[in-house]
Chains A and B, each alone.
Chain A
Amino acid sequence: MAPRLSLANPLVTADQLETTPSGRDGVDPALEQQLRCTGCDLIQAAGILLGLPQVAMATAQVLVQRFYYVSSFTKFALRDTIMGALFLACKIEESPRKVKDIINVFDYVIKKKQDLPIIPLESFSPLFYDMKNGLTVAELQILKRLAFNVQVQLPYALLVNYLQCLGLTQHPRIPQMSWNYLNDGLRTNIYVSYQPPIIACAALFLAARQCQVKLPDQPPWWTVFDSDLRDLVNIAGHILSLYHTQPPPDIPLTLPELEEYQSEILKAHPPGAI
């Protein structure tokens, strides 16, 4: 049954959150978190260099999050998935970019993240072909494995609306800060566990707290926007947790790298040993 025009996103169930395909394939939950976070971070960086609108980057990141709730990191390389997701998202958001440009930019941001020397990628090198192949296959896999549910509703416009309702558009810090929280939140699972209005409220809630601005509480302002406090606090917690830990720069991006990475972890911490 094709969904009707809807402002709702498909969300993952509690079961899906609890047991991910990667978890079943022996990927440590902490590592999975770092993989997701790193992937989204790279998409954001690449999108900025490609001059894409934020909605395209956001769509790509949500697609990656959704994708890894139906697929395992051990079978679909993160590097290819993020390239494929951004390539697809560009087209969905009517800002297409060339495959070549996407590959070059990802190669650059990956080298930069891994602190490797920045040598421009040769267009006919094996690595280029490998990346190109990975990208096209990943695009198709995303469409296929998400059953074409690739439309992503985003909270940015809602946030602007809420800021206007609360008379905060002229505040020196809140608008930008809450916008940034929406961007950073893409690295967490909030976009696959909550609908856009609640996410927009949570970003605003958090920014207002940080700036110590009191908002109407008789009744609490978020009830007007169909949110409840428990969800806001939960989302805020997820966003804030991003700032406590940074994934290490050497997060494995391809399948062989992931295998090696995991076997090294296993060597360093053999099961049973504490």
Chain B
Amino acid sequence: MTPAMTPARRLMVLKPSAMIGLFLVAGWLLVAALAPWLAPFDPLTSLTPLASPGTHAPGGGIFWLGTDLLGRDILSRVIYGARPVVGLSVLATSTAYLVGVSAGLAAGYFRGATDAILSFLASVVLSFPVLVLYIVVIVALGASYANVVLAVTFGSAPAIFRIVRAIALDIAGRDYVAASQAQGERAHRILIQDILPNAAPPLLVDFCLRIGYSAITIGALGFLGLGLPPPTPDWGGMVAEGRAMALAFPHLVIFPCLAISSLVVGLSLLADGLNAEGRRG
């Protein structure tokens, strides 16, 4: 790896598994962006209940993945379902990162009372099982886009805080940080210019993985009936809706499960590739 390699060039030399991950993630991003043009039917309209995959729709067209109990086209719901899952997992992970990184940098750099208080708070939150924490937040505040983001942020930020704090503690003792301090740089400039860029590679890998976790979380919340309010197409909710009938109508759950799996596997493979690339670089 030469210092002159651009990020795009770095991606191009990723190992094949990472390329598959990139392909899957990019594919779902495209599906989410182009949902209105890709979906063959309105995902909320009842047409023919429990049609098998490949059945002809009454008004023309084909239910390629069949329909659900209420007669809604599953392919269209999977396509539209990519929007909240992809959008919310990226948004929720970003907000969790914003909180976790800010707190982690502050704790690792300032140490002392700041570190003690923030670490204590993080430990308190981390002492709860994460899923229980999500459920408590959603039940207390109600199911909505904003509250799903809030729940994921609340549950994930402490773990991010711990990673960032450990990295910041290490970097804060380096010579170049001491040099900046000697030059009289303000703390926030040191945090942003010296510490954060050097903490970025491992955080990038964690970010990718955590988006996958968030996608699983959003799916799990939907499955538990705590995700997005109906009738929003929601992969987890679709699995929950079809679960009781899965043995008789497997198409109700197979396709949303495949969607969740492919996105999460894609993100994991991509994170793995970036990690390997980081170690090489």
* Genuine A/B complex: no
Mark A residues whose CB is within 8 Å of B. Answer: none
